Amino acid sequence: MAEGYVRPARPEDVAEIARIQLATWRVAYRRILPRHVLDNLDEAYLARRWGAAVQEPPSGAHRVLVAVEQAAQSYLVGFAASGPADAEALAPGEPADALASGVVAVTDLLVEPRWGRRGHGSRLLAAAVEHWRADGFDRAVAWTFDADAATRAFLGSTGWEPDGATRALDVDDMLVPQLRLHVAVPEEKVPAQR
């Protein structure tokens, strides 16, 4: 029987994180982003970016978590990255103080498609929420492609909803619409006393 768990990313994980990102984008976004853009993504470049995120995060509240499938052998199958909301979390024209200091931004939440529907996304999100609580965040935001029904459905099933902010990414002269989702970080449930 297979088991899964989440742990903080380690430097030796960065190549696998980049591979997962590339594989997932090429499957999940093939109808959203231009094919030549996906075909030309550089795995080594992605690995360098993830290396910096894992080894030199801008703050202690910036985290990269990985999901591991453990059976006869262990496999890295997904990852999540988040940190305090910054200018990248803002909508075009939104004032710099629109997102308060208690807001965390999810920049990535990906599970490789072949490992989907095994609870890894839920475990990643639950682990992230625990860190957000510990860091004092009370609200989370995430940008998602408007056409990414799977991510919207997954996050929607856990209470995330659009906050009204939209933007369009210019991807090789093609505008790709996005919307921002948000959710209140739930307070920790205290077990009932007997």
As a 3-state breakdown, the chain gives helix, strand, coil percent values, each rounded to 5, of 35, 30, 35
Query: Comparing C-alpha atoms, which of 180, 191, 190 is closest to residue 155?
Result: 180
pLDDT digits (tens, 9 = 90+) for 67-126: 998 877 888 999 999 999 999 999 999 998 889 889 999 999 999 887 667 779 999 999
Poorest-pLDDT segment among 39-43, 77-81, 140-144: 39-43
The pLDDT of residue 193: 58
Confidence of residue 3 (pLDDT cuts 50, 70, 90): confident
pLDDT digits (tens, 9 = 90+) for 154-168: 999 999 999 999 999
* 20-24, long-range: CB < 8 A, 24+ apart: 20/76, 20/77, 20/78, 20/79, 20/110, 20/112, 21/46, 21/50, 21/79, 21/108, 21/110, 22/46, 23/112, 23/113, 24/110, 24/111, 24/112, 24/113
The rounded mean pLDDT for the chain is 91
The pLDDT of residue 70: 83
Residues in the chain: 194
- The percent of residues above 90 in pLDDT, for the chain, comes to 77
Asked if 129 and 100 touch (Cβ cutoff 8 Å), the reply is no
pTM of structure: 0.91
Alpha carbons 186 and 162: distance in angstroms, whole number: 17
Could you tell me the domains of the chain? 4-184 (3.40.630.30)
The pLDDT of residue 73: 80
Q: Kindly state the helix (H) or strand (E) to which residue 28 belongs, with its residue range.
A: helix 14-28
Q: Which two tokens stand for residue 119?
A: 């609870």
